[in-house]
């Protein structure tokens, strides 16, 4: 069923059937969306909006190559992942080849949450320990384990004793020794609760903390201190990955990290649900000696061809370098418009700290541009468009931004 016309009953029915506050929508008057293409989202009332928020359609909404690949494969075969199929093997090989040496094993899942959850299960089995260290205002998923790692959403009063928190690098001067000290403090918190660290998980864009730009040595300090404490290091690339940083396919590469686990999701299938955990063979093997992992849909032939096509498009169009160049243009434009406000981030993942970010996002919407908000109290504008933006979209965005400033 393809919706085309406004349905005035939809909002009330949604609230009734989806639990109101359990399933909030963006904007005071939510958008009734019907169609999208490239950088544009079209609504039932016939308007179109420039998408400056959605990272999932990384190669642009409804990219024809991805749509065609999914449709073709769906018309031929889709079934559970216990059968041999070339798409699945090819995708695993491509992902592993894109990682640093040693990260040679790929496990498929349907969501970033599941990939992180599996990393946590493996880390516990392999280290024989039960403690986790995460950043403040982080988000890592919806499962019981990963929700407890999600310090941005999970009530601190309910945080289990096996989860300790380090402070995100808010100060651009936060360096390696600062990171090592913060991991040391979190480790001491764990030890007081009778735990040792099995895993430190980090989203290197620190999206929930308001989009930060950490120093390389801060990130390396996190990794080195985790290893020195006997734990494993997880680079959560669910949000940061697939070229958004504009330098490498994976954001952790920018810092020279060599994680034990890398998790991928959101943009991986350009909207089709698919996710992955990449790790070292000995970790996966040690896990499979005592436990089992099977996902019915994880890495099915349709999801895998969607992800293969996304990788093809990124490679063939040089999208990583492109997002770096367009991101630099966007940042320079923003810095010129609001020289007094801090602009943070890298590539096409930028945050602008604004006095009334939520109100500003509403005004931008009125001028035809969709953004998000994040950070403490939602005070940071989250700009995270599809990577196919060009100077044309940057200019449109900056014009709307100026109009919204009044
Ligand atoms: N990790 C990070 C950094 C994320 O941003 C998200 C989703 N916002 C997740 C994990 C969870 O992914 P999913 O919603 O696909 O389960």
pLDDT more than 90, % of the chain? 96
Residue 4 lies in a domain: no
**Final residue in a domain of this structure, among 264, 291, 316:** 316
**For all residues of the chain together, what is the average pLDDT?**
97
Domain match, 35 and 123 both: no
Q: Based on the number of CB atoms within 10 Å of its own CB, is 323 exposed (0-12), middle (13-18) or buried (19 or more)?
A: buried
Domain match, 38 and 79 both: no
Domain match, 124 and 246 both: yes
**In the structure, which protein residues have their CB atom closer than 6 angstroms to any atom of ligand 1?**
111-113, 116, 139-142, 203, 207, 236, 238-239, 265-266
Domain count for the chain, please give it: 2
Q: 170-213, pLDDT tens digit by residue? A: 999 999 999 999 999 999 999 999 999 999 999 999 999 999 99
- Asked whether the beta carbons of 34 and 44 are under 8 A apart, the reply is yes
Domain match, 170 and 49 both: no
Residue 104 lies in a domain: yes
Calpha distance 361→31 (Å, rounded)? 13
Domain match, 183 and 107 both: yes
> How much distance in Å is there from the Cα of 150 to the middle of ligand 1?
10
pTM over 0.90: yes
- Taking CA atoms only, the protein residue closest to ligand 1 atom 5 is 239
Domain that holds residue 197: 64-316
Confidence at residue 21, expressed as pLDDT on a 0 to 100 scale:
84
Calpha distance 221→181 (Å, rounded)? 9
Q: 217-235, pLDDT tens digit by residue? A: 999 999 999 999 999 999 9
Read out DSSP for 329-350?
HHHHHHHHH-TTS-EEEETTEE
How far apart are the two ends of the chain, measured CA to CA in Å?
41
What band does 92 get if pLDDT is binned at 50, 70 and 90?
very high
CATH number of the domain enclosing 200: 3.40.640.10
Sign of the CA dihedral running 11, 266, 235, 380 = negative
> How much distance in Å is there from the Cα of 97 to the middle of ligand 1?
23
CATH number of the domain enclosing 339: 3.90.1150.10
Read out DSSP for 33-54?
EEEEEBTEEEETTS-EEEESS-
| 155: pLDDT strictly greater than 90 | yes
């Amino acid at each position: 069923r393809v919706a085309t016309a406004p349905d005035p009953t939809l909002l009330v029915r949604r609230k009734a059937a989806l639990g109101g506050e359990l399933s909030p929508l963006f904007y005071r008057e939510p958008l009734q969306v019907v169609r999208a293409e490239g950088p544009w989202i079209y609504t039932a009332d016939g308007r179109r909006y420039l998408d400056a928020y959605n990272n999932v359609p990384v190669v642009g909404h409804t990219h024809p190559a991805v749509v065609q690949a999914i449709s073709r494969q769906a018309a031929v075969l889709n079934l559970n992942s216990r059968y041999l199929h070339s798409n699945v093997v090819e995708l695993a090989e491509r992902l592993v080849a894109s990682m640093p040496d040693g990260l040679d094993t790929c496990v498929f899942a349907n969501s970033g949450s599941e990939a992180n959850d599996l990393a946590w299960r493996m880390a516990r089995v392999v280290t024989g320990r039960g403690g986790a260290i995460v950043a403040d205002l982080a988000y890592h998923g919806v499962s019981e384990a990963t929700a407890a790692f999600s310090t941005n959403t999970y009530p601190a009063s309910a945080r289990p004793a096996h989860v300790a928190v380090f402070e995100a690098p808010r100060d651009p001067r936060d360096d390696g020794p600062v990171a090592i000290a913060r991991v040391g403090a979190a480790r001491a918190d764990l030890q007081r609760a009778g735990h040792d660290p099995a895993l430190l998980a980090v989203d290197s864009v620190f999206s929930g903390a308001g989009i930060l730009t950490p120093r390389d040595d801060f990130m390396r300090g996190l990794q080195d201190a985790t290893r020195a404490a006997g734990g494993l290091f997880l680079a959560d690339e669910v949000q940061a990955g697939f070229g958004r940083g504009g330098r490498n396919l994976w954001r952790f590469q920018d810092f020279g990290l060599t994680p034990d686990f890398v998790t991928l999701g959101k943009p991986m299938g350009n909207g089709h649900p698919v996710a992955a955990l990449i790790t070292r063979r000995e970790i996966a093997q040690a896990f499979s000696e005592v436990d089992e992992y099977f996902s019915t849909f994880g890495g099915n032939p349709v999801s895998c061809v969607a992800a293969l096509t996304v990788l093809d498009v990124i490679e063939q169009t040089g999208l990583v370098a492109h997002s770096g160049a367009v991101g630099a243009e966007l940042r320079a434009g923003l810095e010129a418009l609001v020289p007094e406000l801090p602009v943070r981030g890298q590539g096409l993942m930028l945050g602008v700290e604004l006095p009334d970010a939520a109100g500003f996002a509403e005004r931008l919407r009125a001028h035809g541009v969709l953004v998000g908000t994040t950070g403490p109290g939602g005070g940071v504008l989250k700009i995270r468009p599809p990577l196919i933006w060009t100077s044309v979209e940057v200019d449109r965005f900056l014009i709307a931004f100026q109009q919204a400033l009044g």
